[in-house]
Structure 1
Amino acid sequence: MYGLTLIAILTITGGAIAYIGDKLGTKVGKKKLSIFGLRPKHTSIIVTIITGILITASTIGVLALVSQDVRTALFGMEALAKQLSTLNQEVTGKNAELATSRAALEAKNAEYTALTLKVKDTAERLSAITEELSAVMAQRDRTARELQQTQADYAVARGDLGKAQQAINTLQDTKNQLDKRVQSLNEAKVTLQEDVDRLNQLTTRLGQGIQVVREGSIIYRAGEVLSTVILPGGESKSDTERALAEAIYDTNQHVIDRLGIEDRSLNVLWIAQADFDKVATTLAKIPQDAIVRITANGNTVYGEPVIGQINLFPNNRIYAKGETVQMAVIDLGSKTEQPEEAVMSFLRKVNVTAVNKGILPDPIQGTVGAMNGAEFYDTVNKVKRYNKGKVMITATAKEDTYAVGPLKIEMHIQGGAE
């Protein structure tokens, strides 16, 4: 419906201008008017040309006035082309990293398959030697029994001493050979068992390596704060961009320390140029200090660059020193109210109130401050002094607190509250 209306407007406007031009040309022709000393015929032609120009100009003007796409096509095409080129380069880099990771995974899988086959072959050899060892030991036992029987026969039949002695020597030699064979097989079994254990350990480590390649060890979680700085607003664009670039550089160095990288010239933190330009432009326009918080845009696996996101917040003063943050009454006479649980519940309410008031919470934990154990249990002990009755708990700000936080509070306990 909108398109039909626009076409109708353009048609009516063009027709009106053409009609007026035609009338003016006719009038000029009839009255033989002259412009710039030209002949009336040429003057009529100029009026017709001007009419055509007005039709074209009015058409383009109306389209540009009512359509953002037309304005973009006329005046913003070069900027869109540059942005598209930048995004294509980023996509190309990501595809190259993905291809490298896939090649590493395929190499690990091939190595894992080869080791698995080797372990299987070694296990089969160990099984065969174990069976042979069992057979040799059984033969040795039979030989030992035969030797004992022969020795018994020798004791009984001394008359055939030479023959019996020869049989004994033969059986003794056979037993010695079998003992040596058993010892050799036992040593081979121990060696093969050590090889199997070593290969199993190597297979386990390789499997863990493949798991790390597939899933990765998460260094930063999505939304985790990498750094927070306060930058002045209302500065020149060049000064603002320089200050913002320094904040990103310091954050990059912090990430390098976290990852344990020796080369401090690496750019492990990636910020989109469009985000940088947008934040720099906004910061240069606001007339007050602002909080610049750089967070991880997604879960980051060890070995991957950290994709960062810049967030900008006004650093307004939220609480003045001594200002009340939260008040609550605890009924110690109620069986359901326990001092520790009551104080903890009160602190949760303080956190919710501070967040609603404008203090920036930690994106992961959602907290705006922390109370150490000594302060917490000191507050609990003060509450416990009132065995029964109602107790008023008041939390006030220790100092002027701005949106960047953290919020530091003082706890005040008052008995006999109604």
Structure 2
Amino acid sequence: MQGVLLILYMLVVSGLIAVVGDRVGYRIGKKRLTWFNLRPRHTAILVAVVTGVSISALTLGTLLLLNRSLSEALFSYTNQIAQAEQELRALNRQKALLEAENAALRVERDHLKMDLDQFRSQQSAAQTRLSEVRDQLAVALQERQEAEAKLAAANEQLAKVQPSLDRAQAELEAVKAEVESARQMIATLESQKQALQLDRDQLERSLDVVQAALTQLENQKNQLEQEIEQLNQLAVRLRRGELAILAGEVLATGVVEAPRGAKPEAIRQQFEQLLAQAEQRALALGSQPMPPLENAILIRREDADQALEKLREPGSWAVRILSVTNRLKGEPVPVLVQIYPNQRIFPKGSVLAHGVIQPGLSENQIQQQLLGLLNQANQRSQEEGLLSDPITGTVGEFSQVKFLEVVQHLRQSTTPLDVKLVADTDIYTAGPLRVSFLMAEASGQPGSPGVQQAGRPEG
């Protein structure tokens, strides 16, 4: 309703100004007045022009005065467009960071899955071993029951023999004539008694052996239960995601310069700076020192002495410090030192990979071809000796935003383009790999050849 009233108001005001202007022009023309030494007819035309300009100015001023949003849009349109473009670039950068974090989380999830499968296999083996121990315990218990039964039978047989011995003694006193036969009977009974005593002693010894075996099996059972409990605790920690550092993860990398005549203290200082970088990286990932030690990284003195001995040799050395095993949060991490000669692999301007991209391809097809070029450069760099990440196998990372800018440029092209990956600077063994996309019209195409440099990859 407010807009309708505004339009009606503008029409009424414009009509009134037009009537006033017409009347003023008519009167001026009738009186034949002159302004600025103009003819009366020209003066009337000037009055009509001033009246029209007044109508437009008054209309525009009224519209801007009554509609605040229109005035803001008219005077701040360029600033709003620039602000929107900045927000779009920031969102693209956040998207690239989120995709990189997503890839890292996927790699970490795969490693955790492998560790969980290994733990399950160990748990299954422990359960099998526990079942075997239980079977052995059952067999030992059965043997013990059999030994006790034999001992009871022997005692029963001994109890049965004892009355016969008493009767023989009575018959010996009562009947002198049967003394010899009674003595023989007594001797026989005595021999049987000794045999039964021997059997009883042997059964008691067997019972002691069985008891010792049972005690040993009980100890093994308790030890296995403790191992199972430790494995269960480890599994719980793995499920909670407390794995902080992976085996082979690079904690620090750098170059140690050892010119001829360099002092050992200077080389030691450079090496200690790399160890300090590794310490800070380990602490950032969640590793903690184990009292009474003060460092989160653990390196053997022999390894450190060998590394210093190697670095004292004249030359330029690429040094990497890697974790030896997977470590959980709060645990110190053992590390090892890798040393390589830091040689120049590619001079500045070297073409690492190239290919021709035809027009009319979809965005996905262009991305696949560009990724193929990046993989070629990555493989060639590793073959020439450029140090790669032991976990991912790559030698650098590329900005997703600039990569998409190259893709959009190729999609807008109407002619085949020759795309090259060129080294921005001299590339050494320690890296990193820094390249740019160079695009030019493919040879044999109409039009003058043009060369464009795409966004530089990062890392």
Question: Shared topology, TM-score over 0.5?
Answer: no
TM-score (norm 2): 0.41
TM-score by length of 1: 0.44
